Amino acid sequence: MNTVKSNVDAFLELLRESNIFLKLNEHNNLDIEAPQGALPQELLEEIRSRKEEVVGYLKQVAAQAKMGENIPAAPEADTYPLSSAQMRLWLSSNIHNDSAAYNISSVHELEGIYDPVKFEQAIFQVIKRHEILRTVFRKDQEGTVRQWILQPGELGFKLSYVDLSEAPGSREAADHLIQEDGRKMFNLEQAPLFRVTLFRLAAAQYLLYYNMHHIITDAWSTDILTRDVLIAYEALQQGKADTREPLRIQYKDYAVWEQAQLGAPAFDVHRQYWHRQFEGELPVLDLPGAAPRPAVLTHNGYVLSAFIKEELVTSLRKITQQQGGSLFTGLIASLQALFLRYTGQEDIIFGTPVVGREHADLHDQIGFYINTLALRTRCSAEESFIDLLGKVRATTMKAYEHQLYPFDLLVQELPLKRDVSRSLIFDVFVNFQNTSAGGGQENGKDALLPEDRDLVRDVGPATSKFDLIFNFQETGKDIHLLIEFNSDIYNRESIARLIGHYKHLLASVLQKPGQPLGSLSYLADQERERLLQQACGKVAPAPLQTVVAMFDQQVARGGERTALQYEEQVLSYRELDERSNQVAAYLHSLGVKPEELIPVCMNRSEKQVIAIWGILKAGAAYVPLDPEYPRERTAYILSDVNSRLIITDSACKQLLPAEASTQKIIDLDAAQPTIQAAPAARMELQPTPSQLAYVIYTSGSTGVPKGVQVEHAALSNYLDWAVKTYMNGNGKGNMGLYTSLSFDLTVTTLFGTLLAGGCLRVFPQEMGIQEILTAYLDQDSGLDTIKLTPSHIQLIPAMGIKATGVATAIVGGEPLHKKHVGILHALNSNMTIYNEYGPTEATVGCSVAVIEQPLPESMHIGRPVDNTALYILDASRQPVPAGVAGELYIGGAQLARAYLNNATLTAERFIDSPFHKGERLYRTGDLATWLPDGNIEYIGRTDNQVKIRGYRVELGEIEHVLQTCPGVRQAVVLLAPGAGEEPTLSGYITTGPGFNEHTTRSYLKSKLPSYMLPEMYIRLDEFPLTVNGKVDVKQLPQVAGAHAGQEEDSYEAPANEVETRLVEIWKEVLRLYNEISVTANFFELGGHSIKAIKMLNQVSQEFGVVISVKKLFEEPTIRNLAEKILNAGWLTSQQEVADNTAYEKIKI
C-alpha cells in the first residue's frame, strides 16, 4: 500500500472519530463537515497544512470508484462462508453458549402516531432488502459452519407491540422489559437473530427497541436499520412503493470477497505488520482484581458511570493536538499511564474498534463489518506523558494504516497459548464515540446527565465481553465515561477507586506533561495520607534495654522456676543465669571485646543455649553456623566474619573446615572445667541497646551468603512485642527448640520462651523432624506454644497425631494456606494461630495476623507490629492504594544495622525514607497489597528469591555455583510445584565436555545446603533468549515435558477403544507424532478454537455425539472426552460406524 495514501487514510480515520469529515466538492476543493465546536483552530491548521496530500488522496479514491473497483456479487450457492469476524463470534458463542454477551441492543425515541401493523410490514420490507437479517449459521455435511440465507417467509418474524400508555411510569416499565429481553440468548442456527419491540409510552410517544446478535450487525448497522424501517413505514403510510434501488451486494458477497482478499499478495503487507507487532510472548495485563479469576471466562458484568470535566477535556485536547494526536490517543495514553502505575507493566495492549467500512460499497449495508485493532505500546515510568502520547499516536496511526487485516485472522495465525480464563491478546477494550451528532440511544443513556458530575453512579448489571470496557462518549464539552467490568473479577468498590485514580492521574499528567510518569501522583492527598498512617504500627514504649536485661528480670521474678530442659538435664532460671555468666566471664578472660563476632557451630543441647546467652552477656554477638552446612559455605562465613574465636562442641569440631585452624577453637565440652571455675556472678560490663546481638547469614544473589547485623534494640523490640502477643494468651510460652540457629525463626523460641518465663525444651540434633513433631505435639509434652513453617505442618497428617495440648501456633517462613490452618485446627480446634511475616533484615517478624473464622481465601499477613512500619510502594517509591500490588518496604525499630562487609548492598537495600526525615527503609523485594480493611496480603517475590522449607533462597546463588561445575556452561534454576504441592527446585543447564550429572550433584552437595539443591536437571542445547538477549525463562520447557501439555513421567496410555481412537484423532488434528497421554491438555498441546472445532467434528462423525466447544475448554483431555462419549451410551463398534450404521447424535 502506498505510504502517503496510508498516512492520509489514517489521518482521515482520526478525524472521523470526532465526526469530522473531509469531502471533495465539484471544484476539487475540500469541504469540511463537523459538529459545532468539534474543530479547534489547531486541528483546522493541520488540515490546511495537509490539504494537498488529502486532496490528492481523495481524487485517487474517486478515480478508483469510477473505474469500477466494486465488491463483486458472489456466485449463487446454497450456503456461503462466514467472514473472519463472524467466525470469531460463532466460536465464542459456542464456547460461552450460556451467555448473551454478544447481544446488541439499541433504543430509539419516536414521536407521533405509529400503526404497529404497518410498522411490522415496514420491517418485513427491510428484511427482504437485507439478506443478513434472514441469515442463520449452521454446519454443512463436512462439519464446516456456513451462512444459510432463508426466504423471508421462512423467518417467522413477529413485531412485539407493548402498549404502556396507560401504565404509571411507562418508561421505567419499558426499561425493565428491555433489560429482561437483553438477557435472552439467540440460537445461531434458528431465525430470526433479532427481536424488535415497539413500546407505546404515551399517546404520541414511542420507543423502538432492537435486540440483535452481533454476528449480523454492528453499531453502524442499527442506524441503517432504523433509517430503512422509517423510510419504508413512511412510504406505507402514504400508500407509496419504496422506490429505492435494491442493494447491489449483500453481506454474503462481502464475506466471499473478504476471504478472497486475504489470499491476495497485497494483504501480505498487513499480515507482516501485525505479526511483527505481536511476535514473542504477549503481555498479560495483571490488573488488581477483587476476586480470583474464574477458571473459564465469564460474562457477568456491571456498569458504572462517571464524567471527565470540561477543563480536563479541554486541556487534554489541546495537548494531544499540539503533539499531532487526537482526543482518542490522549485517552488511550492516559489509561496506559494509569495501568503502568497500577501494575509496573511497560508493555500493554488495548483493543479498540474501527468501523471496517473503508470500501464505499459497504456504507449502506447491515452486517458485522466492525474490525478490532489491538494497540500495543511500550512505555516506562521514566518517560513523560508527552513521550507516551507520541508512542500511542504512532502505534494508532500504523494500526489504522493496516486496519484492513481482520483481527480474527490474526488471532488464528499467531501461536497463542490459549488461556480459557481470558480473552485473546487483550482484556481491556476502549471505545470512543462522539454522541453530539445524535443517533440511537443505548441502554443506560438516562445516566448521561447526573446532577453531580463528580459522582460515580451505578448504571446496573450488564453482559461484559471483556474484563474491562472503557466507553468514552464525548457529549459536548465534557466526556461521559461508562466502565463495563466483569463482576466475577472486579467489584464496584475497586472500579470506583480506579475511576478516581484515573481522573486524578489525568489531572496530574496535564499539569506536568513533561515530567516522568512515575513521579506523578494518582492518589488524592487524603487517600495518600491515610495509606501512610495505616503503614505504621502502634507506637508503644520501646523496651530501651537489651535481651540480657530482660532475661535478668525473669531471673529476679523467680530464679528456681524451670528454664531449660535437654534430655535429663534440667536447669532453673538461676542455674541458666549463672552458667551463662561463667561463659561470659570465660570469654572476657580471652579478651573478647564489645560487638566482637563469635561464630557458634554446635549441635542442639543445653550447652548451645548457655553459649548463646554467655556471648550476649559478654557484650559480643553470635554468628550461627549450622553443623550441616557444607564446609565451603562455613569457610566463607568464617572468612567474612574474620573472628578470633569459634565456639563449638566435640561432635562439631571435626566438621569445621581447614580454614578454621587459624582461629582459636573453643570446644565447650573440653573447656568445661575452666568455664565452671569462672565467676558465676554477673559481669559489670553490660551490652547496650545499640550493640550487635547476632549476625545471621542468608542466601545471596551474587553466589555467596550475606551477613545481616541485628542490634539488641531491634531484637528486644521484637521480643517484647512477641512475648506480649503470643505468650499472654492460651499459651504460657513453653516451647521446644528444634530448628537451626541459622534460621531466624528460631529466635522466637530461643529467646521468647525465656523472656516470657516459660520452659525451653531442647530437642537433640540427631532426632528427625517427624520424631520431633510427634513428641512436641504429644498431649503430655508440657509444651503449649510452637513456632513452625507450613512445610512442617505438611508433615503432620502422615504422622497419625490425633490431638495436641499445644494451644498457640506461630507460623512463619513461608506463605500460609487454608489447608495448613485446617491441619492445625484438626489437632486442637481452640488453637490460636498467628501468621507472622518478616525478613531477617527486619528481625524475625514485623507483621502478624491472627487467623480467625471464617477463613479468607488468601491468608493475609496482618498489620505492622509495634514501632514498625510497612509501606507498599510502586517502582517510583510512591504509595499504592488498596488492591494494587507494590514492593514492601519496612521501617521502624526492628531494622538491621547493615550487611556485614557489604556497603554496596547495604546502600542498595537500606534506603532513606521518602516520607520521614532520618528514617531508614529496608527494601524487601516482596510484593504485597493493601486489603480494603487495612491488612496486608503477601503476593510473592519481585526478584529471583524464593522460600524453600522456610529458608529464603536466592536462585542466583545456586545458578552461580552450578555454573562453576565442570561441564556446565549455563544454568538457570527455577521454583516448580513438587509432590504434595510443596515447591521444588529444577535446574536448567547447557553442557559441554566433561559434564556428568552424578558429578554435578556431588559438587553442589559439597557447596550448598540440602535445601538449595535442585531435585531435577533439564539439559538443553541452548537457552531461549528474549529480544534483549537475556534468557527467556518463561519459554523454558516444563519439567520433563515431551510437550507443554504432558510430562513423560505422567504419561497414561489409552485404557479402552474410545480413548485409543481419540488419541489418533488428536494426533491427526494437532499433527503430533509422539504418543499423547490421555490426561494431556488439548490446548497446551497446540490446540486452538479452529482445531477444536475440527477435532469435535471428527468426534461427532465417529461416535455419534455432539460435544460443545465449551465442554472441551472445561475438560480438555482425552480421558474426559471418552467419559462423556461412553456416558452418552456409545456402544457401536468401529466396523458398524464404518458401515454407516444409523445412530442418533446425542448432544453433550
Average pLDDT over residues 88-97: 78
Integer Cα distance of 84 and 553 in angstroms? 80
Q: Are residues 878 and 1011 in the same domain?
A: no
Angle, CA 202 vertex, CA 196 and CA 203 arms, to 5°? 105
- Omega prior to 75 cis, within 30 of 0: no
Do 466 and 609 sit in the same domain of this protein? no
Reply yes or no on whether the pLDDT at 1049 is more than 80: no
- Residue 985's DSSP bridge partners are 975
Last residue of a domain, one of 1039, 1061, 1076: 1039
C-alpha dist (Å) from residue 1114 to 419, 1109, 1110: 11, 9, 6
Give the C-alpha separation, 717 to 621, whole Å: 17
pLDDT number for residue 1143:
36
Residue linked to cell 537457552: 1023
471-482: pLDDT as tens digits: 999 877 889 999
Q: Once rounded to an integer, what is the mean pLDDT over residues 889-900?
A: 98
Q: Backbone dihedral region of 333: left (phi > 0), alpha (psi from -120 to 50 degrees) or beta?
A: alpha
Going by pLDDT thresholds of 50, 70 and 90, the confidence category of residue 950 is: low
The grid coordinates of residue 520 equal 506523578
Residue 250: which of 168, 354, 333, 127 has the closest Cα? 127
Q: Cα(680)–Cα(559) distance, rounded to whole angstroms?
A: 14
Bigger pLDDT: 41 or 767? 767
Start-to-end CA distance of the chain, whole Å, equals 48
**Residue bearing cell 555455583:** 961
CATH of the domain at 1089: 1.10.1200.10
Q: What confidence tens digit (pLDDT) does each residue in 1067-1103 have?
A: 888 877 778 888 888 877 777 777 888 888 889 888 8
> Which grid coordinates are listed for 1118?
482425552
- On whether residue 354 sits in a domain, the answer given is yes
Question: Could you tell me where the DSSP H helices lie in 1071-1130?
Answer: 1089-1103, 1109-1114, 1118-1127
What strands, in cross-sheet order, belong to the sheet with 457-463? 371-378, 347-354, 428-434, 468-474, 479-486, 300-308, 457-463
- Domain end, chosen from 919, 941, 963, is at 941
Same domain, 352 and 494: yes
Strands of 355-453, DSSP E: 371-378, 428-434
Angle at 92 between CA 268 and CA 145, to 5 degrees: 75
The confidence score (pLDDT) of residue 1046 equals 43
- Using DSSP's 3-state secondary structure scheme, residue 762 falls into strand
Residue 33 CA to residue 806 CA, distance in Å, equals 81
Indicate which CATH number applies to the domain containing 16. Answer: 1.10.10
Pick from 235-249, 381-395, 887-901: least confident: 235-249
Cell output for 724: 506480649
Highest average pLDDT, of 222-231, 239-248, 319-328, comes from 222-231
Predicted pLDDT of residue 1133: 36
Q: Which residues of 629-652 are buried (b: 16+ CB within 10 A; e: fewer)?
A: bbeebbbbbbebbebebbbbbebb
Q: Residue 718 falls within a domain, yes or no? A: no
| pLDDT recorded at residue 1147 | 45
Distance CA 1034, CA 1056 (A): 36
Integer CA distances (angstroms), 1089 to 15, 92, 1093, in order = 36, 9, 6
Residue 1034 is predicted with a pLDDT of 76
Q: By C-alpha distance, which of 199, 247, 198, 192 is closest to 216?
A: 192
Kindly state the average pLDDT of the residues 494-507.
96
Q: Using one digit for the tens of pLDDT, what is the confidence trace for 229-283?
A: 999 999 999 998 888 889 999 999 999 999 888 877 778 888 999 999 998 878 8
Secondary structure percentages of the chain, helix, strand, coil, to 5: 40, 20, 40
pLDDT of residue 971: 86
Provide the CATH number for the domain around residue 872. Answer: 2.30.38.10
Read off the pLDDT of residues 750-807 as tens digits, 9 standing for 90 and up: 999 999 999 999 999 999 888 999 999 999 999 999 999 988 888 898 888 999 999 9
How far, CA to CA in Å, does 830 sit from each of 816, 825, 853?
A: 18, 7, 11
| Residue 5 pLDDT | 39
The identity of residue 480, as a single letter, is H
Do residues 502 and 331 lie in contact, with contact meaning Cβ atoms separated by under 8 Å?
no
Same domain membership, residue 508 and residue 411: yes
200, 165 in Cβ contact below 8 A?
A: yes
For the ranges 217-221, 413-417, 834-838, the lowest mean pLDDT is seen at: 413-417
pLDDT on residue 206: 96
Instruction: Give 1048's pLDDT tier (boundaries 50, 70, 90).
Output: very low
Is residue 867 within 8 A of residue 539, CB to CB? The reply is yes
Is the distance from CB of 207 to CB of 201 less than 8 angstroms? yes
What pLDDT is stored for residue 17 in this prediction?
Answer: 65
The range of the structural domain enclosing residue 922 comes to 867-941
The Cα-based distances of 326 to 275, 373, 404, 470, 504 in angstroms read 26, 17, 21, 17, 21
- Portion of the chain with pLDDT greater than 90, in percent: 57
pLDDT tens digits for range 348-377? 999 999 888 878 888 889 999 989 999 999
Please say if the pLDDT value at position 829 is more than 70: yes
Q: What is the pLDDT of residues 687-702, one digit of tens each?
A: 999 999 999 999 877 7
Task: Please tell me the least confidently modeled range out of 339-348, 420-429, 516-525, 975-984.
Answer: 975-984
Residue 328's identity, in one-letter code, is F
> Which residues have CB under 8 Å from 598's CB, separation 6+?
587, 592, 615, 620, 621, 622, 623, 643, 645, 646, 647
Quick one: pLDDT at residue 960? 79
To which residue does cell 503502568 refer? 340
The tens digit of pLDDT for each residue in 145-200 reads 999 999 998 988 999 999 999 999 999 999 999 989 988 999 999 999 999 999 99
Average pLDDT score over residue span 442-465: 69
Q: Do residue 968 and residue 1006 come from a single domain?
A: yes
For the chain, helix (H) and strand (E) counts, in that order, are: 35, 45
Nearest to 112 by CA among 206, 39, 34, 196: 206
Is 758 within a domain?
Answer: no
In a domain, 1074, yes or no: yes
pLDDT at 1047 over 50: no
Average the pLDDT over 452-474 and give the result. Answer: 89
Give the closest residue to 1088 by CA, choosing from 491, 411, 453.
Answer: 411
Burial-class residue 911 by CB neighbours within 10 Å (0-12, 13-18, 19+). middle
Q: Are residues 199 and 311 in the same domain?
A: no
Higher pLDDT, 732 or 851: 851
Q: What is the mean pLDDT of residues 995-1021?
A: 82
Rounded-to-integer distance, Cα 146 and Cα 795, Å = 58
Closest CA to 638 of 372, 960, 629: 629
Whether residue 447 has pLDDT greater than 50: no
Cα–Cα distance, 345 to 469 (Å, whole number): 19
Total-model pTM: 0.77
The residue-averaged pLDDT of 583-610 equals 97
Is the CB of residue 894 less than 8 Å from the CB of residue 703? no
- The single-letter DSSP state of residue 186 is -
Look at residue 629 and tell me if it is in a domain: yes
The verdict on 287 and 409 lying in the same domain is yes
Q: Is 228 within a domain? A: yes
pLDDT for 97 equals 64
DSSP-derived 3-state class of residue 210: strand
**Is 287 in the same domain as 191?**
no
CA atoms within 13 A on the CB side of 817: 9
Count the alpha carbons within 13 Å of 533 in the hemisphere toward its beta carbon.
6
Confidence label for 1139 from pLDDT (cuts 50, 70 and 90): very low
- pLDDT at residue 390, rounded to an integer: 94
The average pLDDT across 119-146 equals: 94
* 322 and 469 together in one domain: yes
C-alpha 1092/C-alpha 115 separation (Å) is 49
What letter would DSSP give residue 381? Answer: T
- Tell me the pLDDT tens digit for each residue of 557-595: 999 999 999 999 999 999 999 999 999 999 999 999 999
Q: Which residues of 835-856 are buried (b: 16+ CB within 10 A; e: fewer)?
A: bbbbbbbbbbbbbbbebeeeee
Burial (CB count within 10 angstroms: exposed 0-12, middle 13-18, buried 19+), residue 907: exposed
**Greatest alpha-carbon span in the chain:** 125
Closest CA to 144 of 826, 1112, 1098, 950: 1098
Assign residue 961 the CATH number of its domain: 3.30.300.30
- Cβ proximity of 518 and 346 under 8 Å: no
Coil, helix or strand at residue 136: strand
**Backbone dihedral angles phi then psi of residue 461, each to the nearest 5 degrees:** -60, 155
- Shared domain for 392 and 517, answered yes or no, is yes
Residue 158 belongs to some domain of the structure: yes
Beta strands in 842-885 (DSSP E): 847-850, 863-864, 868-873
The C-alpha torsion from 22 through 27 and 28 to 33, rounded to 10°, is: 0
Whether residue 375 sits in one domain with residue 244: no
Q: How do residues 831-853 score in pLDDT, each as one tens digit? A: 999 999 999 999 999 999 999 98
In whole angstroms, give the CA distance from residue 20 to residue 36.
Answer: 10
pLDDT at 400: 87
Pairing of strands 1016-1019, 983-991: parallel
Residue 665 and residue 9: Cα distance in Å, rounded? 83
Residues 6+ apart with CB under 8 A from 672: none
In the prediction, which pLDDT does 861 show? 96
What CATH number should be reported for the domain holding residue 674? 3.40.50.980
- How many domains does the chain divide into? 7
Helix residue spans in 278-406 (DSSP H)? 310-322, 327-343, 385-401
Distance CA(361)–CA(254), nearest Å, equals 9
In a shared domain, residues 309 and 452: yes
Dihedral angle, C-alpha 1099, 1101, 1105, 1110, nearest 10 °: 50
Cis peptide before 657 (omega within 30 of 0): no
Q: Average pLDDT, whole number, for the chain? A: 87
Report residue 37 as a C-alpha cell.
465546536
- Tell me, yes or no, whether 53 lies in a domain: yes
Residue 1109: the pLDDT is 79
- pLDDT of 1114: 75
| Final residue in a domain of this structure, among 885, 906, 941 | 941
pLDDT of residue 57: 63
**Which CATH number covers residue 90?**
3.30.559.10
Give the CATH number of the domain where residue 494 resides.
3.30.559.30
pLDDT in tens, 1027-1046: 445 577 778 886 543 333 44
Instruction: Quote the pLDDT of residue 1137.
Output: 36
